[in-house]
Amino acid sequence: MTSAYIINPSLKPNKPHPIEEDHQDAKLLFYHPEEFQINDKRSHVGISEGVVQFFGLFAETKGYMVINSQNYTHVMKEVEPNYWLNLIFFHRELFDQAEAELGSKPPTKFAQIEDSFYEVIISHCYSLYCLFHCSFDKLFKEQSREDASVLLKDFFVTYAKEYVNSNTIDYFPWNFNGFCYCPIDKKNFMRTQLFLNRIKEKFTFVKYTLLLYSNYMIFNDMPSAYAKVLYTYLTGVTERRPKVKPKLFSYDSPAMNEFRSKREKALSSNPSSGAEKKAEVIPIDSEPYSAAFKFWQIETSDKNGFLLGPSVASSVQNPAVPAPIQNIYVYMPKIYIEGQSYRLCIYTVVGLIVCLVLEDKEELLTDLKLLNKLSNHLKRKAIDLCRILMQSIKKNEDLPDAYQYYYYNYVNNAIKISSKLTNEELRKYELSVILNNLHECMNPNSRLGKDNTTLCAYKTKDYWIVTFKILDREICVLLSPMLSIEKVEEERLKFKQMYFSSIFVL
């Protein structure tokens, strides 16, 4: 991602007798990278306004615009009334490295990517921002442009690094919009529900819950749109299958230790006179990280316990202090769901991730008794659930797949990837571009789609690629190119019978 900027065409300069440049500067709320020449920034503002006003007269009403040039793709979307988010992608930055590794020809892949894929990226980018900061309108009304630019720069730099690269571009829109799952038996699923229901029953300040194991979605009761973006925050997009810990800021990380050290040194240098000082609660969503988008603190912990959550206690040992000062650190960043602020709290045990969304109450930060009870409850109960899910999921993962396939359920946004369909396979044969286009053919709202398309087949020198849709489920199966068209249909029916006989009406 080369550039990101936000404009508000309704804004006007607050000065007498403004010239044209003043009008452009007033509309430009943020531009990254900031070192760009002011004339280039003004030029992009003018292009964005012109494209929206002119091409909007002829384009379909879809809420976004995608313009391809030889080297760049410009994506524009009105994410809020009068707030236009603009992203610019440099093609060579996306494709040269990946294709050089594979020894392919100069990059031409971008020309085959559907506009809807870029729309998915810009929508996901905005949704992830809103999860932590509510809206652009709120930001610019409450902060100066300078302070807002600090936060936005941090966000867009991190977003480009984590979500927009040569790996990401090879993935389906589904990966930004769904959950990878691994089937577990009904008994263990009910145990998971009971575990989370007990938490909400015992701790009434817990509003929503979400539980993952090894990046597989097991259960969540959040509104779907927010659960999807939080899932990508926890697991990423391109690293779904590997069993990695969530990329979150943890208590035992170097940055956290540095923060504690600075806090304790400041307190030690100003000891209270005379009597012992009581424990002090220090919320870490204050300086020095006040302007930071919390996701940029990408550090993992090898220890079980809270990544974002209740407390860590430490004592300051300083001869100048008459008694030890006990500092309790609370790190629960605000998130916004349906316009309401909450606190994000995450607990991990080995591969188990328990994500709790707490009510945004001041007493949770000033009186830690409730959070300590929550912590003790999870310590007692989470390890047992972790052991149960580990055995259940391992049993399913050890079953070999007979086919290479990709599955998506439009009802619950569930994704299932065959163990035989690897990321390297998708990239090596440029399967992702073909699969994306076949997916577009199945979508009646797309440029390629038709109202009643339920089956598409495409043959390459390496595969027969068969995509079909039934009962709000879309499945793509890769078959040998040596098969005749009649055999392809036989294999497709055999696949349905093998994997989905219990849910499909055959």
> Has this prediction a pTM greater than 0.85?
no
Supply 477's token pair. 């199966």
CA nearest to 227, candidates 246, 244, 211, 243: 211
Span 176-205, pLDDT tens digits: 888 888 778 889 999 999 999 999 999 999
Whether 126 and 139 have beta carbons less than 8 Å apart is answered as: no
Q: What percent of the chain has pLDDT over 90?
A: 20
Dihedrals phi, psi of 239, to nearest 5 degrees: -115, 50
CA dihedral 480, 485, 488, 494 (to 10 degrees): -160
Whether 5 and 30 have beta carbons less than 8 Å apart is answered as: yes
Supply 131's token pair. 């999860």
Q: How far is CA 292 from CA 147, 366, 416, 445, in A?
A: 10, 22, 34, 38
**Domains observed in the chain:** 3-176 (3.30.450), 180-399 (no CATH), 404-500 (3.30.450)
Span 352-392, pLDDT tens digits: 889 999 999 888 776 667 877 888 898 889 999 999 998 88
Whether 155 and 293 have beta carbons less than 8 Å apart is answered as: yes
Reported as a pLDDT band with limits 50, 70 and 90, residue 294 is very low
Whether 328 and 367 have beta carbons less than 8 Å apart is answered as: no
Mean pLDDT, the chain, whole residue set: 75
Q: How far is CA 178 from CA 114, 315, 317, 343, in A?
A: 19, 44, 49, 23
Span 51-110, pLDDT tens digits: 777 766 665 556 788 887 777 888 999 999 989 999 988 766 555 544 444 444 444 455
CA 277 to chain centre: 42
- Checking if the pLDDT of 142 tops 50, the result is yes
Instruction: Determine the Cα–Cα distance for residues 66 and 62; give it in Å rounded to an integer.
Output: 11
> For the range 456-465, what are the long-range contacts, defined as Cβ-Cβ under 8 Å and sequence gap of 24 or more?
457/485, 457/488, 458/434, 460/429, 460/434, 462/429, 463/429, 463/431, 464/488, 465/431, 465/434, 465/435, 465/438
- Checking if the pLDDT of 453 tops 70, the result is no
